[in-house]
C-alpha cells in the first residue's frame, strides 16, 4: 500500500506491506537488546514471531490497529505501526522503501 495523506497540513507519502496480522506496533514488537547501549536493539523477524494481537493495546488519536484493510492507513498505522513508513511532510514526491521483516530489523545498522 502506498498513499498520499495530509500530515501537519502538508502532503506526505505513507507505505507498508499490509501484513497487519504481523503488526505489533513499534512499542510492542518483540526485540532484542544487543549491547549495554539502550538504543542498540533489533526487532525480531516475522519468522521468529507468531501473529501479532489484533489489539496490541496501543492507540493513536483514539484509533487502534485496523481490523480491516479498508481502514488502512489510520492514525495508528502512521504513528505506531512498525511496518508503516512516512515521508517528511511536504516530501511526498520522494520514494519510500517498504521495510523487510523477513530478517531482523536493526535500529543501528551493523558494521
pLDDT tens track for 23-60: 999 999 999 999 999 999 999 999 999 999 999 999 99
Q: How many CA atoms within 13 Å lie on the side-chain side of 21? A: 3
pTM of the entire structure?
Answer: 0.88
Question: pLDDT-derived band of residue 69, with 50, 70 and 90 as boundaries?
Answer: confident
pLDDT at 66 over 60: yes
Query: What does the pLDDT read at residue 79?
Result: 94
pLDDT at position 62 over 80: yes
pLDDT value at residue 26: 95
Q: Cα separation of 25 and 56, whole Å? A: 7
Sheet holding 2-7, edge to edge: 2-7, 10-15, 85-86
pLDDT of the residue at 50: 94
Average pLDDT value for the chain = 93
pLDDT confidence of residue 28: 96
Amino acid at each position: 500500500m502506498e498513499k498520499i495523506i495530509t500530515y501537519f497540513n502538508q502532503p506526505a507519502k505513507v507505505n507498508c506491506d499490509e501484513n497487519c496480522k504481523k503488526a505489533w506496533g513499534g512499542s510492542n514488537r518483540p526485540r532484542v537488546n544487543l549491547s549495554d547501549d539502550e538504543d542498540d536493539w533489533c526487532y525480531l523477524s516475522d519468522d521468529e514471531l507468531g501473529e501479532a494481537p489484533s489489539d496490541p493495546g496501543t492507540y493513536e488519536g483514539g484509533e487502534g490497529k485496523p481490523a480491516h484493510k479498508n481502514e488502512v492507513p489510520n492514525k495508528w498505522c502512521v504513528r505506531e505501526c512498525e511496518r508503516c513508513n512516512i515521508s517528511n511532510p511536504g516530501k511526498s514526491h520522494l520514494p519510500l522503501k517498504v521495510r523487510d521483516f523477513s530478517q531482523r530489523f536493526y535500529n543501528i545498522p551493523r558494521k
